[in-house]
Amino acid sequence: MLSLAALAVVRFGLTLSLGPEYDSNANRAEQVANTESPDTPTPSFLLRSQGTLRMTWRTQSNALRLYATGGGKIFFNPAVFDQDVFALSLGGEDRVRVARFLNVAIAADYYDAWQLPVAPYRARDFRSGSAVGRIYFVDPLGEVTLTGGYRGFQYKPDPYFDFQAGQFTAYGVARLVFGYNSDHELDVAATYHMERRWFAGVVELFADPQPPIGSPPPMPPLQPCAYGQPINDRCLIAGSDQRHDWFHETGLEITYVGPLLVGLGYGLQLNQSNSFGQSLIRHIVTLKLSYRFPWSIYATVKAQLYASVYLDPVLLDHVFNTLQFTTIEDENRNNVIVDVERPIGNTGLAVNARYSIFTNEITPSPVSFLRQVVYLGLTYRVGAR
């Protein structure tokens, strides 16, 4: 035990960030053509902050990594005080080398977001957590990782969307290092993720309920519940079966690392549900560029295109279905994000600037969405990253 403790290396790291931000659509409102939208985009300035503490405990055959992140946003416009949020993320992994090419690990994570319960109550906060086991097959030319375990999810505004899930992930990457000084690298990665979700709510069915026999016809006449017609609440009836979904996600990514970092990826998501309106196919194309400019200016540009095909004839729960609920910052819409960072000497401080724009998916839709976010702040880093 003493010799093992003597060989152990413990490292800590801390990252803090703080800065003002402007959000052109702080309440993330959508506009629907030819209708009076219940919510309109509301701009606001805000203050954003975040802190992350990391710890790594390493021996010759074991590595334990833990992290804790807390952060929040405080809006200055009273019309969007319900969008103030604090989020907490915890996680860790204990990884053991069993053989030269084989590692095993257990890992867990927890995420929780809280929004203020103030009018007009446009909450999107949730909590989620997972516990998994992993097997790593490692080699200088690549790596294969198999992960399986449990995931739980609670959507605080509506328990209908709470679920428990079993999950499985397979990930593989092949690396090619080349160049005179081995200063170029090409990575090809593929991944597959699956979840079997059991929801707390029952299924919803699409039907055209008729008035009781002998009752007078409603005036004015009701809009029929039929495919191609606008949806309304009376067309949805609760079934007796519990809702359950199969969620699949697969992706392929190619990354070049050299004087310039270039990444290009394609993802495909499939959600199959026994509840009406919840099944969809989503295509995602991602492009990422990173470059170090003179004067130690680091710039990254990330662009994503989304296209969804809803497998039922009528689109329901559009906002919920287009989110993956990894963090409360998720949009899962077309986006372009530009990040620029300039370290200040060896102080650990850096100046950060970020511009983001989010728009509709490229799928034709009467729903329009536009959100632009501008951030300028400071980051302080110390210790291990």
Between 333 and 222, the more confident residue is 333
Residue at 220 is within a domain: no
- In this predicted structure, the answer to whether residue 115 has a pLDDT above a threshold of 80 is yes
Residue 238: predicted pLDDT? 82
CB 53 within 8 A of CB 66: no
Which residues is 186 bridged to in the sheet? 176, 256
- In this predicted structure, the answer to whether residue 112 has a pLDDT above a threshold of 90 is yes
Q: Which residues contact 202 (CB under 8 A, 6 or more apart)?
A: 238, 239, 240, 241, 242, 243
Residue at 279 is within a domain: yes
Residue 210: predicted pLDDT? 67
Residue 228: predicted pLDDT? 57
274-291 pLDDT per residue, tens: 988 788 899 999 999 999
Which tokens go with 235? Answer: 């067309």
Residue 57: CA atoms inside 13 Å, Cβ hemisphere, count? 10
Residue 32: predicted pLDDT? 72
- In this predicted structure, the answer to whether residue 270 has a pLDDT above a threshold of 80 is yes
Across the range 305-314, mean pLDDT stands at: 80
Residue 121: predicted pLDDT? 82
Residue 316: predicted pLDDT? 44
- In this predicted structure, the answer to whether residue 1 has a pLDDT above a threshold of 60 is no
Coil, helix or strand for 147? strand
| 324: enclosing H helix or E strand | none
Across the range 216-226, mean pLDDT stands at: 66
What range does the domain containing 353 cover?
2-210+225-383
Output the average pLDDT for the chain.
88
Residue at 324 is within a domain: yes
Which residues is 13 bridged to in the sheet? 54, 383
Highest mean pLDDT among 38-42, 115-119, 174-178: 174-178
Residue at 306 is within a domain: yes
Closest CA to 91 of 124, 54, 62, 61: 54
Across the range 82-99, mean pLDDT stands at: 96
Across the range 225-243, mean pLDDT stands at: 73
Between 266 and 384, the more confident residue is 266
Give the end-to-end CA distance of the chain in Å, rounded to a whole number: 28
Between 331 and 39, the more confident residue is 39
DSSP state of 24: T
Residue 120: predicted pLDDT? 84
Distance, CA of 162 to CA of 128 (rounded, Å)? 10
Alpha-carbon dihedral sign for residues 16, 18, 23, 27 = positive
Residue at 216 is within a domain: no
- In this predicted structure, the answer to whether residue 91 has a pLDDT above a threshold of 80 is yes
Distance, CA of 193 to CA of 343 (rounded, Å)? 37
Across the range 323-333, mean pLDDT stands at: 70
| 318: enclosing H helix or E strand | helix 318-321
Distance, CA of 196 to CA of 352 (rounded, Å)? 40
318 pLDDT tier (thresholds 50, 70, 90): very low
Across the range 175-182, mean pLDDT stands at: 90
| 335: enclosing H helix or E strand | strand 334-343
| 357: enclosing H helix or E strand | strand 349-359
Residue type, 44: S
Residue 277: predicted pLDDT? 79
| 2: enclosing H helix or E strand | helix 2-7
CATH number reported for the structural domain that contains residue 353 in this entry: 2.40.160
Phi, psi of 141 (to 5 degrees): -90, -5
Residue at 215 is within a domain: no
- In this predicted structure, the answer to whether residue 119 has a pLDDT above a threshold of 90 is no
Instruction: State the total domains in the chain.
Output: 1
Residue 317: predicted pLDDT? 44
Closest CA to 69 of 300, 299, 326, 303: 326
